Structure 1
Amino acid sequence: MFSRTENFSQYIRLYPVVTFFLALNILIFVLTYIPFIGNQIYLAGMGVNYLISAGEWWRLFTPMFLHNGIMHLLFNMFSLYLFGPELEKIAGKARFLTIYLLSGIFGNIATFFLQDPGYRSVGASGAIFGILGAFGALVYYTKHILPQLRQIIVPIIIISIIMTYLQPNINTTAHIVGMIVGFLIGLSYFHPKRIVSWRRPKT
């Protein structure tokens, strides 16, 4: 399910939303390393709670596309590359888009309300955890139909949560809230009655 066998052109054609976010995150990361303007882009977009309080509300959105170092970027983009396509294929482009964006945004909103005023954060992890949460909802509805999916997804979710609390400098709030939001949206999107209506032939 999560092994990618497509070539480059097939991947782009089959998973345009995932491809867009991969390209956007990588492009912005490169831009932040351009002398003079790169640091300004990073500082203008990172999540800083006291600046959000001062009215810079875009910082609830822009941190999703910034990363603190190459390893941070690679980890998040590899996760998106690996898990995103299957969810985009199952849910569809528009539903995948809402899962990704709303999980990331609500993760940042929760960070704003639950962390101290000086807290700073960047990264797509809230959105990535939203993807895992949506898969969790799919497992909930298909546990008796697709037991192999449960065997794959549940350990990944558990390990991801554990690593969230073991690694330093991690926005645990965005991770956990992003996963919860993805799960709740998934419960709506993947409800058996809704899936039947998606697949019903048009007349």
Structure 2
Amino acid sequence: MDTQSGTPHCYRHPGTETGIRCTRCEKPICPECMISASVGFQCPDCVRTGSGTGHAAGANQARTLAGGRVRSDDRLVTKILIGTCVLVYGLVLVLGDRLVDELVLIGYAYNPLLGEVVGVADGEWYRLLTSTVLHQEPWHILFNLIGLWVIGGIVEPELGRSRYALLCLVSGLSGSVLAYVVAAPNQPSLGASGIVYGLIGAWAVLARRRRHDMRPVALFVALSLVMTFTRPGISWEAHVGGLVAGALLTFALVQAPRARRELIQFGACGLLLLIDVGVVLARTAALT
């Protein structure tokens, strides 16, 4: 409730004022959350749990801020990503350095354990993605899993599953690409930090879009960057690449006009991926 104007705020989007309430539970709902019913409008929760009588399919289905479908489990992609990181970490504990050597991000280097040249520049492009779910140290995976759960839990419900999955892909890949371009060719890089920082960038854009108080968001982003550049052994390139890509893609996702929403959204995603591919090709040519 706005203490000055007395106008209620949407229960799902606290920064949005509204005069509409769900005809079933009487919660305040904004235009993004309103679902047509036989009488008035109902909220996504009532429709999702089957307690409402609204039309959940087609044009009347509840949509996220970015136009995705509202799901009963709004952290499914986050859970799958966390599960993947845990699975790979378990394999690392069992198989050891051999698996790390196969999956870690390396630009171009001679690996004495394998007795051969390895790296992205040698055609192993898969390392740009496998490194984003690879961890060796317990503190490293714990920090990233907390970030994925907390910040991903904020971002995924706002974007919807497919758009959120693309955000994670582009953020992680862009972080790896910047590390590939800037870091020394034989410097290894691994971890989901690029994805986490992409989610931080997305969170900042979403908070701005929702007209939330930006001061705590700006403080959190600033502290995250301070940690990036002051702690030893941190791949700042992956953090910065993920942060910038995540913010840019989220801006396109939430600002796209409804009439051409999907064209702009997936076009922006495709453009960022093409830029990543072009940068990788240029760096590979320079190294080889």
Relative to the length of structure 1, the TM-score reads 0.83
Q: How does 1:32-43 map to 2 (within 5 A)?
A: 32-34=92-94, 37-43=95-101
The residue number in structure 2 matching 1:48 is: 106
5+ residue gaps, structure 2: 1-11, 13-71, 109-118, 263-288
**1:98-109 correspondence to structure 2 within 5 Å:** 98-109=166-177
Q: Partner of 2:237 in structure 1? A: 173
Does residue 1:184 correspond to 2:248, yes or no? yes
- Following superposition of structure 1 onto structure 2, how do residues 76-87 of structure 1 map, counting pairs within 5 Å? 76-87=144-155
Q: Which runs of 5+ in 1 are unaligned?
A: 2-11, 199-203
CA distance, structure 2, for counterparts of residue 49 and residue 194 of structure 1: 41
Give the counterpart of 1:18 among 51, 66, 78. Answer: 78
Is 1:120 the counterpart of 2:184 in the alignment?
A: no
> Is the contact between residue 151 and residue 203 of structure 2 (CA under 8 Å) also seen in structure 1?
no
How far did 1:192 drift? 6.6
Tell me whether 1:146 sits opposite 2:206 in the alignment: no
How many residue pairs end up in the alignment?
182
Identity level (%): 26
Residues 141 and 192, structure 1, Cα contact 8 Å, conserved in 2 = no
Q: Do 2:155 and 2:199's aligned partners in 1 also have CA atoms closer than 8 Å? A: yes
**CA–CA separation in structure 2 for the residues paired with 1:95 and 1:13:** 15
Instruction: Indicate the residue corresponding to 2:142 in structure 1.
Output: 74
Query: Relative contact order (alpha carbons < 8 A, sep ≥ 6): 1 or 2 greater?
Result: 1
Are the equivalent residues in 1 in contact too, given 2:228–2:239 (CA < 8 A)? yes
CA distance in 2, matches of 1:164, 1:126: 11
- Relative to structure 1, the CA distance from residue 28 to residue 94 in structure 2 (aligned partners, 3 Å threshold; closer, same or farther) is same
Supply the AA of the counterpart residue of 1:44: E
TM-aligned CA deviation for residue 72 of structure 1? 0.2
Give the AA of the match of 2:195. Answer: A
Shift of 1:52: 1.1
Instruction: Describe the shift of the 1:13–1:138 C-alpha distance in structure 2 as closer, same or farther (beyond 3 A).
Output: closer
Deviation at 1:194, TM superposition (A): 4.4
Question: What is the rounded CA distance, in whole Å, between the counterparts of 1:184 and 1:194 in structure 2?
Answer: 18
Counterpart CA distance in 1 for 2:147 and 2:99 is 24
Residue 221 of structure 2 corresponds to which residue in structure 1? 157
What SS class does the counterpart of residue 126 from structure 2 fall into? Answer: helix
Q: In 2, Cα distance between the equivalents of 1:132 and 1:110?
A: 17
Question: How many Å separate the matches in 1 of 2:140 and 2:177?
Answer: 21
Q: 1:18–1:81: 8 Å Cα contact kept in structure 2?
A: yes
More helix by share: 1
Structure 1 letter corresponding to 2:81: F
| AA partner of residue 80 (structure 1) | L
Separation in structure 2 between the aligned mates of residue 140 and residue 185 of structure 1, nearest angstrom: 14
Instruction: Give the number of the structure whose alpha-carbon radius of gyration is greater.
Output: 2
